[in-house]
Amino acid sequence: MFLYLLRRFALAGLMLFGLVCLTFIIANIAPADPAALAAGPDAGRSQIEQARREYGLDKPLPEQFLRYVTDLAHGEFGRSVASGRSVGRDLARYFPATLELCLVAMTIGLIAGISLGMLSALFKDSWLDHITRIFAVSGIALPPFWFGLLLQLGFAVWLGWLPTSGRIGVSTEPPDPITGLLLVDSLLRGDGALFGQSLSHILLPAIVLSLPCLASILRVNRSEMVEALRADYITAARAHGVAPWRLVTVHALKNAMLPTLAIIGLRWGWMMSSTVLVETVFDWPGTGLYAVSSAIAGDFKPVMGVTLIVGLNFMLVNLVVDLLYGVLDPRLRDA
Amino acid sequence: MSLLDIQDYRLAFDTFDGTLHVLDGIDLSLEAGETLGIVGETGCGKSVLARSLLRLNPEPPARVVSGSILFEGEDVLHLPERAMRRLRGRRVAMVFQDPVSYLNPLLAIGTQMEDAIRGQESALGKSRRPRSAIRAQAAELLASVGLPEPQRLLASHPHQLSGGMRQRVLIAMALAGNPALLVADEPTTALDVTVQAQVLALIAGLVKERGLALMLISHDLGVVAASCARVAVMYAGTVVEEAPTAALLANPRHPYAQGLIAAVPDLDNPAHKPRGIPGSIPNLMTPPTGCRFNPRCTLATDICRSDKPMLRELAPAHRVACHHAQP
């Protein structure tokens, strides 16, 4: 187990280095000239050259890379050339919003995906199985912006149950961040009203974001459960008199969870990097919006920052997934 | 009343390609404390029959066509699932062929035993016992099948044990409910030869000690001869001959049983050449009419192709299903 962990951590370190290299290379081969952007639309050649020197863009690439890496090591993501703001400070504002959205979406995806997958495996080829199949296919196929608009129309405009957009009401003063996750912060402060408000705001975007993830967890969990329920050890456990509920939720589900776990890890990375459409529709101030608007402006430091932080998060989650494998599977622990 | 009484039991499997007539009118009975061996080739339906006793064949594809399986007077085929759960592990217990795939790879031995004991007790409506009491019972069971260090074993996982140990664990689990009937489905097939003998001796010892009835399923006549007082020979979903073990070995009446015994090499008499049975087992989707063995039988006549032979008692306790068998 120790060796297994060591290998996982070493791999994560390598991946991190690769990620840093990749963001640097992509930013440098992009056609836009950040110095021209920083100097403004009316700047002359000399002003652009001055901006280039100011941002250190006139140095040879290896030197620029070295500076980029040392800055990162100090937690410095550089400054946006368009706004002049520190990218690190921007990320501290936008990343928690995206993280919170993804956490809630993943929770929905996990609970609904695993339980529906389990049920449709248990009642294989019944009407329930067919309905979840249709649901899963549409979950992957529906464009999120369209589905988001539909939900807004239904639950916010017609029924008026939930707000259309934003993280909290426009008239509410956002609290000083502790973790930056509004749901957590409001609980830490014991502010029930704020908690309710943030929950009502996050519900619709989280549902939209969770759908594709829910669908793939459901399908994988279903087919793995079908296989597990047919396994010899389930027949034996039944013969030995193990209670049916326990048989399904522990004996079979634990085996079905191994492949499901892999999908969950992948889906998390996919989700973190695809929030932009949902954030646009629900006016959610997260990294997706931030990265896309910066990229359109040709402002590369924020894009590099977002890529790094999302990539880092994906790596951490996959490390956790690898650890969970070890927890679930005793054979891996002994290997 | 017999402990187990199977009457005219027919089972079919509905598959995409058609219906397999897997069991065709099985008649067998077993008294308390009696040992019965069931032999036959792979695919003759012996495992399906064993699983039927606990209704473990998934339905669909399995479908009961007719007949009854009376266990202690209750028809297992018509018991509701709830009542079935009172039987499983508690009255009828089962040991399986391959201890590798029949133990859950992700759960500790202790958890699997605990779940079995708890499940059986909750099916009987007993109140929940503390975990320590159940663990103690599980450790005792492991010790009773000759496993050392039962406490440590409870915490270990299947992949940490040898094949023989795993089979012992499965036997210990089968004994948890103190059953009246132990069904052993090829319990030694997947084991090394030396371990086979140990496991057979263990089963024989438990049967004697606890007064269990035993139904031992095997394709190995030697295994059955060593542990069972009575043998039933199955062919393509039918019982063709049933007799006390010694009588069957010495004087098989059914051509198929004769063929089986002739196919066993005789180590004391190297001049004896084992003979195979020509032909192969029939397709159960379109089984032969009349006697299912008739296409391979040297004695077959017209009646064998038209009428299904019934089991007839030709000598005391010696029943044969063959039109040509003489008393």
Whole-angstrom distance, CA of residue A264 vs CA of residue A321: 8
Of the pLDDT bands very low, low, confident and very high (cuts 50, 70, 90), residue A104 is very high
Q: Helix, strand or coil for residue B64?
A: strand
Looking at CA atoms only, how far is residue A257 from chain B in angstroms? 11
pLDDT beneath 70, residues of chain B: 327
Q: Which of A235, A243, A328 sits opposite B119 (nearest CB)?
A: A243
User: Least CA distance to A233: which residue of chain B?
Assistant: B102
Asked if residue A195 lies in contact with residue A202, where contact means CB atoms within 8 angstroms, the answer is no
Strands B213-218 and B35-39: parallel
Query: What pLDDT is attached to residue B18?
Result: 81
Phi-psi region of A192 (alpha: psi -120 to 50; beta: other; left: phi over 0): alpha
- Nearby residues of A187 by Cβ (< 8 Å), 6 or more positions away: A195
| CB < 8 Å to A228, chain B | none
- What does the pLDDT look like over A50-94, one tens digit per residue? 878 877 777 888 888 888 888 888 878 777 777 778 888 888 888
User: How many angstroms separate the CA of residue A66 from the nearest CA in chain B?
Assistant: 47
Closest CA to A238 of B127, B102, B80: B102
- Interface check for A328 against chain B (CB to CB < 8 A): the answer is yes
Are A46 and A319 in contact by the 8 Å Cβ rule? The answer is no
**Mean pLDDT confidence for A191-214:** 85
Please, which pLDDT band fits residue A170 given cuts at 50, 70 and 90?
A: low
Statement: the pTM of the whole predicted model exceeds 0.90: no
What 3-state DSSP class applies to B56?
coil
Q: What is the mean pLDDT of residues A283-304?
A: 84
Cα B41 to Cα B43: distance, rounded to the nearest angstrom:
6
Coil/strand/helix, residue B181: strand
User: Residue A113: which pLDDT band, with cuts at 50, 70 and 90?
Assistant: very high
The percentage of residues in chain A with a pLDDT greater than 90, rounded to a whole number, is: 12
Q: What pLDDT was estimated at residue A225? A: 92
Element (H, E) at B18: strand B18-30
Q: Which residues contact residue B84 at a Cβ distance below 8 angstroms, ignoring those fewer than 6 apart?
A: B54, B55, B76
Q: pLDDT at position A106, please?
A: 93
Sign of CA dihedral B149, B154, B156, B162: positive
Question: Tokens standing for A12?
Answer: 């994560």
Interface of B with A (CB under 8 A): 51, 54, 56, 58, 81, 85, 88-90, 93-94, 96, 98, 101-108, 112, 115-116, 118-120, 122-123, 157, 159-160, 170, 173-174, 176-177
**Hey, what are A317's tokens?**
């989650």
Res A335: pLDDT: 65
For A75, what's the count of Cα atoms within 13 Å in the CB-facing half-sphere? 4
Residue whose C-alpha is closest to residue B200's, from B211, B214, B179, B210:
B214
Where residue A108 falls among pLDDT bands split at 50, 70, 90?
very high
Contact B116 A334 (CB under 8 A): no
On whether any CB of chain B is under 8 Å from the CB of A255, the answer is yes
Phi/psi of residue B66, nearest 5 degrees: -165, 175
Cβ distance B88 to A241 less than 8 Å, yes or no, reads yes
Q: In this structure, are residues B63 and B44 in contact, taking their beta carbons and an 8 Å threshold?
A: no
In the numeric block, the tokens 């007539």 are attached to B21
pLDDT, one tens digit per residue, over B151-208 is 888 889 888 888 888 888 888 888 888 888 889 888 877 777 777 888 888 888 888 8
pLDDT confidence tier of residue A41, bands split at 50, 70 and 90: confident
Please answer whether residues A234 and A128 qualify as being in contact, where contact means their C-beta atoms are separated by less than 8 angstroms: no
User: What's the rounded Cα separation, in Å, for the pair A272 and A310?
Assistant: 7
pLDDT in tens, A234-263: 988 888 888 888 888 888 999 999 889 988
Q: Both ends of chain B: CA-CA distance in Å?
A: 28
What DSSP string describes A145-195? HHHHHHHIIIIIIIS--S-SSSSS-TTSPPPPPSSS-HHHHHHHTT-HHHH
Alpha helices, DSSP H, located in A171-281? 182-188, 192-229, 232-239, 244-246, 253-272, 276-281
User: Cβ separation of A235 and B88 shorter than 8 Å?
Assistant: no
Within an 8 Å CB–CB cutoff, is residue A231 touching chain B? Answer: yes
**pLDDT at residue number A111:** 94
d(CA B31, CA B308): 27
Q: B320 phi and psi, to 5 degrees?
A: -135, 140
Rounded to whole angstroms, the Cα distance separating B185 from B218 reads: 7
Q: Report yes or no: A56 and A271 within 8 Å, Cβ to Cβ.
A: no
Mean of pLDDT values over A4-30: 84
Q: Which residues of B touch A236 (CB under 8 A)?
A: 94, 96, 102-103, 170
Query: In terms of C-beta distances under 8 Å and separation of at least 24 residues, what long-range contacts does B165-169 make, across chains too?
Result: B166/B99, B166/B100, B166/B103, B167/B95, B167/B99, B167/B191, B167/B195, B167/B199, B168/B142, B168/B199, B168/B202, B169/B99, B169/B103, B169/B109, B169/B113, B169/B142, B169/B145
Instruction: State whether CATH 3.10.129.10 applies to domain B4-228.
Output: no
Beta pairing partners, B37: B216, B231
Residue-level length of chain A: 335
pLDDT at A112 over 90: yes
**Mean pLDDT for chain A?**
84
